[in-house]
Structure 1
Amino acid sequence: MKKLLSLILVVVMSSLVTVAVQAQCAMCRASVENNVSNGDTSIGAGLNNGILYLFVMPYLMAMVIAFFWYRSAKRKKSKLSLR
């Protein structure tokens, strides 16, 4: 239980830290550069946010699945110990 609590604390603390990340693929970069040359500078920030969203979602889903799997295993273990 103590390890789980420390893991949750690390995840919460690391989610509070923000770092400016510039992540773009070659196609997205070309699109942004084309728009910047035409005077539109707002598209780059939206693209970066979208890429980061797509990057984080699989890890978040894996964490949720692992949590429910852990909880299910813990319940199953407690039921077996009661018998």
Structure 2
Amino acid sequence: MNRIYKIFLVFALFVFTQFNTYAQCAMCRASVENNVANGDTSIGAGLNAGILYLFVMPYLMAMVIGFFWYRAAKKRKEKLSFR
């Protein structure tokens, strides 16, 4: 139980801790620089949020699949140990 608590604590730390990150591909950066030069500064924050969202989704899906796989394996192991 202590191990699960530690894993949850580390996960919560990563999820609820926020850092200012600036992740942009070359085309996104050029688009933002062009818009800033024309006076529109709001598009950069939206692009950064979108890029970070796309970055997190595969890892989140892998964690959910791993959790269900672990839970099914644990149930299967308990079922075999009762025999």
Distance in 2 (CA, whole Å) between partners of 1:29 and 1:14 is 26
- Between 46-55 and 7-16, report the one with greater CA deviation: 7-16
Distance in 2 (CA, whole Å) between partners of 1:82 and 1:61 is 32
Distance in 1 (CA, whole Å) between partners of 2:16 and 2:60 is 15
Residue of structure 2 equivalent to 1:80:
80
Report sequence identity in percent.
Answer: 67
Tell me how far 1:2 sits from its aligned partner: 2.5
- Between 9-18 and 28-37, report the one with greater CA deviation: 9-18
Distance in 2 (CA, whole Å) between partners of 1:47 and 1:12 is 25
Residue of structure 2 equivalent to 1:51:
51
List structure 1 segments (4+ residues) > 2 angstroms apart after TM superposition: none
Structure 2 SS opposite 1:14:
helix
1:16 equivalent in alignment to 2:20: no
Residue of structure 2 equivalent to 1:25:
25
Unaligned runs of 5+ in 1: none
- Superimposed CA distance per residue, residues 24-80 of structure 1 (whole angstroms, 9 cap, x where no aligned partner): 000000000111111100000000000000000000001001100000000000000
TM-score between the two structures when normalised by the length of structure 1? 0.95
Distance in 1 (CA, whole Å) between partners of 2:5 and 2:71 is 14
Q: Which amino acid aligns with 2:28?
A: C
Unaligned runs of 5+ in 2: none
RMSD: 0.8
Q: Which amino acid aligns with 2:12?
A: V
